[in-house]
Structures are given as structure tokens and as C-alpha cells.
Amino acid sequence: MRRSSTLALLTCLVLPAGAVASPGRASDFEDRVALGAPERPRAVAVPGGPVITPVQRAPRRFDLLGLRWSDRRSVEIEVRTRRDGHRFGPWTHVEDADAQPGRSDPVWTGAADAYQLRLSRPPRGLRAHFVRVRGDPRARTAVAPRTVRQLGSPAIVPRSEWGGDQCAPRRAPATGRVDVAFVHHTVTAAEYGPQDSAAMVLAICRYHQGSNGWDDIGYNFLVDRFGRVFEGRAGGIDQAVVGAHTQGFNALSTGVANLGTFEAVEQTPEALASLSRLLAWKLHLHGTPVQGTVAATSRGGSHSRYPAGATATLQRISGHRDGGLTACPGAALYLQLPQLRTLAVAHAATLPPPATLVTPLTP
């Protein structure tokens, strides 16, 4: 049986938050990647070296793209995009999708019309999956969305405010445990403003469903660089909802994605403050210490750092790379995790004991 915290439910409020633009309507489409006669970087003069595709003009404007290929073998991919007919931006590394051989994570591009790929090899059956988010008349105005807050939590933008009705779960969520929190980043090939965050969350959700074939968005929560927290996977912010973010450990964790790429750039103080408050509240709610380590048994998988049955010693607040074969959450953000843990411990010390601990459903 599941017993929800009575106190938490009674303290749920509707509050204003910082400006978040209405995400508008989302649509998905795909196109074949034409490898053609690929260019080779001048530094590479040997067969089988890296290749650069011809410029790929998308069927229509897009805001997010990801890739999939039929041979399912590993390939290193970088992408650069052209914003509405202007010059191409810098190359951005594209990460593999968790638990999805032959698929990539999505890359937020923002209003692009063309792209180009740099590949370690030319994979067979390469296709691009796009998401376009059309804005509405409020898209560039300051709109204060409804948010929810439970005792000790930050204000959280619910699914209804970022367009979650356009990414409805395909089935009821599974419930597990919250023994550890994994910190992630998304990948962005362009800067984004506060008016873009809701559209980014919606686009990621559509990609996780449409390209990866998942039931819902993989992350339990998402945080933008302005410090706004968004509800991710449906099922209740106070429940131990099983996400799809860290293969091998999804059933015993919660996953929080930072919107942006944090390989060379640090997360902002505003985002770290919100993230630490969120993680302190979420772990505390489930009776889990915020600091220290836990022995976690992996369920394995091709993208897990640990085979099935192996025991991993994980920090209660860990980076994705601690459990998975990935560079996520980026080198710069990973180095900020000790600071994040310190902030979370300080906030947890101010929280009262949960009235009733949230007990997971029997799997």
C-alpha cells in the first residue's frame, strides 16, 4: 500500500513564479540524413576517419533534434545548427540515449532550419527526429505560471504549465524507492532564455516518447539556469516514481536534469540553490539521508556502469556518470556536486520530520 504524507498534501499551495512563457503547440517529424559524399577534416587522411556530412536542410523549422541509426553500433556524434538562415553555431557533442543503443539524447537548438553532423563513422540507416514547438501570442511575454509547493520544497512548475497534456503518459507510472538522487544535464546547441524553458521541457518529453519509445519524459524533475524547477514524469512529485534516466538504478532513485550543457560552463548559483532545496526535500520526504553513501544493487544494462547484480557505492546525491557510462552531467557541473551536497545538507537541517513517510507501492 502507499501512504501519502498528509501534512505534505495539506500544505500544497498555488504560487506565482518567475516568468515562464506558454510553450505553445509541439509537433514531431523525421527525415533521413543524407551522408552523400562526406567531407573529411584536413587533419584526417586515413580511411575510416571522422566524416562531416553535407549540410542537412530540415523539412521545416525545428527546436530540438536527435538521431537514431539501424546498426546500433556506437558512434561519436557532434552537431552544429543554423538558426533561421543565419550562420552555423559551434559543434556540440551529442550523447547516447540511456538504455537505447542506436539512439542519441536530444539536443535543444532553438528555431533552427539546417544542421550538419561530424561522425566518427558513417552509421547505417541514420535518421533525425525533430521536435518543433510553435509559440502562441504569449510566447515572448512574462507569464507567471501556477506552481505547487509542499512543506520544505521549492516552487515547482507542474506539468499543466509546460504543456504536459501534449505528452500524456502512455501507462500508469511504476513506483519504486528513492535511495539516491542522480543529477543530469541536457544538451543545448544554443543559448536559451527564461521564455524558452517550458518549451524545452515539452520538447524533451516529446522526444523521449516519440524517438526513444518511452512512456513519458525520463526525468523526475528539471531545473533551468534561472532556478525554476519543473515537474517531470507524471505520478506525483511526492511519490517514488520510477523514471528513465540512469539505467540499472532507475527503480531506486530520482533523477533531476539541468537544462543546458555543463561540460565547460558551471551551473548558476540560482539553479544550484533551487536544486539543493529540491533534493533535500525529496530525499528527506522519503526518509533518505541527504549525505553519505548507499550500497545500491544494479539491474545492469548496456549503458550502466555496473552489471546486473553488482553493488555500487553511491553518494546520496550522485552524478549520472557515477552510475552510467556517460560524461553526464558535464565536467563543470560534476565538480559542483560537493557544493550542491553541502547546500542540500544545510537545507535538510531546517526540515521537520515528514508526518508520514511515503511508502512505495509493491512492484
CATH of the domain at 76: 2.60.120
Tell whether 209 and 266 lie within a shared domain: yes
Nearest Cα to Cα of residue 312 among 293, 337, 284, 338: 293
Peptide bond into 329 cis (omega under 30): yes
Q: How many CB atoms lie within 10 A of CB 83?
A: 17
Residue 65 belongs to some domain of the structure: yes
Tell whether 160 and 208 lie within a shared domain: yes
Q: Which residues of 249-265 are buried (b: 16+ CB within 10 A; e: fewer)?
A: bbbbbbbbbbbbbbbee
User: How many domains in the chain?
Assistant: 2
Nearest Cα to Cα of residue 280 among 355, 350, 186: 350
Strands 127-134 and 56-68: antiparallel
pLDDT, position 23: 66
Tell whether 190 and 336 lie within a shared domain: yes
Q: Say what percent of the chain tops pLDDT 90.
A: 74
pLDDT, position 148: 76
Tell whether 112 and 59 lie within a shared domain: yes
Distance CA 95, CA 103 (A): 9
Tell whether 170 and 298 lie within a shared domain: yes
Tell whether 122 and 181 lie within a shared domain: no
Nearest Cα to Cα of residue 295 among 318, 275, 277: 318
Distance CA 160, CA 145 (A): 9
Q: Using pLDDT thresholds of 50, 70 and 90, give the confidence band for residue 299.
A: very high
Q: In the block, which residue shows the cell 556518470?
A: 321
pLDDT, position 48: 58
What HEC string does 179-192 produce? CEEEEEECEECCCC
Q: What is the pLDDT of residues 214-266, one digit of tens each?
A: 999 999 999 999 999 999 999 999 999 999 999 999 999 999 999 999 999 99
Tell whether 187 and 280 lie within a shared domain: yes
For residue 61, give the amino acid letter.
R
Residue 74 belongs to some domain of the structure: yes
Q: What is the pLDDT of residues 78-104, one digit of tens each?
A: 999 998 778 999 999 999 887 678 899
**Taking CA 260 as the corner, what is the angle to CA 247 and CA 238, rounded to the nearest 5 degrees?**
55
Residue 242 belongs to some domain of the structure: yes
Domain boundary among 111, 134, 157: 134
Tell whether 226 and 116 lie within a shared domain: no
Domain boundary among 75, 105, 134: 134
Tell whether 151 and 300 lie within a shared domain: yes
Tell whether 337 and 229 lie within a shared domain: yes
251: left (phi over 0), alpha (psi -120 to 50) or beta: alpha
Task: Return the C-alpha torsion angle 269, 270, 271, 272, nearest 10.
Answer: 40
Q: What is the pLDDT of residues 321-342, one digit of tens each?
A: 999 999 999 999 999 999 999 9
Domain boundary among 116, 134, 152: 134
Residues 255-279, mean pLDDT to the nearest whole number: 98
pLDDT, position 265: 95
Residue 1 belongs to some domain of the structure: no
Tell whether 129 and 38 lie within a shared domain: yes
Q: What is the SS3 assignment for 149? A: strand
Distance CA 93, CA 330 (A): 11
Residue 149 belongs to some domain of the structure: yes
Peptide bond into 16 cis (omega under 30): no
Range of the domain at 193: 6-22+138-348
Residue 358 belongs to some domain of the structure: no
How much helix, strand and coil, in percent to the nearest 5, is found in the chain? 20, 30, 50
Residue 256 belongs to some domain of the structure: yes
CATH of the domain at 293: 3.40.80.10
Tell whether 150 and 230 lie within a shared domain: yes
Residue 198 belongs to some domain of the structure: yes
Q: Using pLDDT thresholds of 50, 70 and 90, give the confidence band for residue 8.
A: very low
